């Protein structure tokens, strides 16, 4: 049986939203554990994480995703043209995603700064977070400027690909820097857990 347009669009959106919601539950658990811990983080950092800014953005992103699933699969059931139309829900997804990504990059940039005592990598990471917000907010505005998703993908696909490339680079840089500095710290300290607790 051949795949239909609904299998390739609505099916992918539904499965992606289910996985995203599952991961949202894990993020909420991490949020809860962090807020209950007796961390020695600065007040501004705890405020950024525990001050509900990040959590509210994640919640709004999940709700916007589910509203888009509802719009396509219930409100416009059986109308493939509705999948093509841009709407506010798509714009909200881009906006929330950019803000969430920037907060996460800022957090890990700070962690790398604390561990390494070197400003170079954190500044690159923070700059990448700012670029991510800039592209995300541009993407949030563009659905109002383009009539359909097909038109957008034919003329402005680079607006999607550039921030994805930046995000991949930032994630690799974050992971690589954290692994390197934790490994380097381990070679000079007897126990890594004590060193990590002290630094992080």
Q: Do both 120 and 182 map to the same domain?
A: yes
Q: Do both 64 and 114 map to the same domain?
A: no
Question: Which of 46, 68, 84 is the endpoint of a domain?
Answer: 84
Instruction: Give, in order, the Cα–Cα distances in Å from 119 to each of 78, 135, 176.
Output: 54, 24, 16
C-alpha span between 100 and 135 (Å, rounded): 13
Domain span at residue 3? Answer: 1-84
Report residue 82 as tokens: 């509705």
Q: Do both 106 and 200 map to the same domain?
A: yes
Q: Do both 80 and 91 map to the same domain?
A: no
Q: Do both 39 and 116 map to the same domain?
A: no
Tens digits of per-residue pLDDT, 37-65?
A: 767 777 777 776 665 677 788 888 898 88
Confidence check: pLDDT of 129 > 60: yes
C-alpha span between 95 and 16 (Å, rounded): 18
- Burial 102-111, CB ≥16 within 10 A → b, else e: bbbbbbbbbb
C-alpha span between 71 and 17 (Å, rounded): 13
Tens digits of per-residue pLDDT, 152-191?
A: 778 888 888 898 899 999 999 999 999 999 888 876 655 5
Question: Which of 53, 84, 115 is the endpoint of a domain?
Answer: 84
Give the model's pLDDT for residue 165. 92
Average per-residue pLDDT in the chain?
Answer: 81
Q: Do both 153 and 141 map to the same domain?
A: yes
Report residue 159 as tokens: 């607006």
Q: Do both 72 and 128 map to the same domain?
A: no
Confidence check: pLDDT of 81 > 90: no
Q: Do both 53 and 29 map to the same domain?
A: yes
Coarse DSSP helix, strand, coil percentages of the chain, rounded to the nearest 5 percent: 85, 0, 15
Total number of domains constituting the chain: 2
Enter the pTM of the model.
Answer: 0.77
Q: Do both 168 and 198 map to the same domain?
A: yes
Q: Do both 94 and 59 map to the same domain?
A: no
């Amino acid at each position: 049986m051949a795949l239909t347009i609904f299998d390739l669009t609505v099916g992918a959106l539904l499965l992606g939203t289910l996985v995203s919601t599952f991961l949202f539950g894990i993020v909420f658990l991490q949020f809860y554990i962090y807020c209950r811990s007796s961390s020695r983080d600065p007040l501004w950092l705890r405020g950024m994480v525990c001050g509900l800014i990040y959590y509210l953005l994640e919640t709004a992103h999940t709700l916007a995703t589910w509203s888009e699933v509802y719009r396509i699969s219930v409100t416009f059931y059986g109308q493939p043209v509705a999948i093509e139309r841009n709407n506010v829900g798509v714009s909200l997804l881009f906006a929330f995603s950019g803000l969430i990504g920037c907060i996460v990059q800022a957090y890990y940039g700070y962690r790398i700064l604390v561990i390494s005592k070197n400003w170079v990598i954190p500044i690159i990471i923070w700059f990448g977070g700012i670029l991510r917000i800039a592209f995300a907010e541009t993407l949030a505005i563009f659905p109002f400027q383009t009539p359909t998703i097909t038109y957008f993908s034919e003329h402005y696909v680079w607006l999607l690909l550039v921030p994805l490339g930046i995000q991949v680079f930032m994630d690799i840089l974050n992971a690589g820097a954290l692994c390197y500095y934790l490994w380097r710290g381990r070679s000079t300290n007897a126990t890594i857990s004590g060193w990590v607790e002290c630094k992080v």
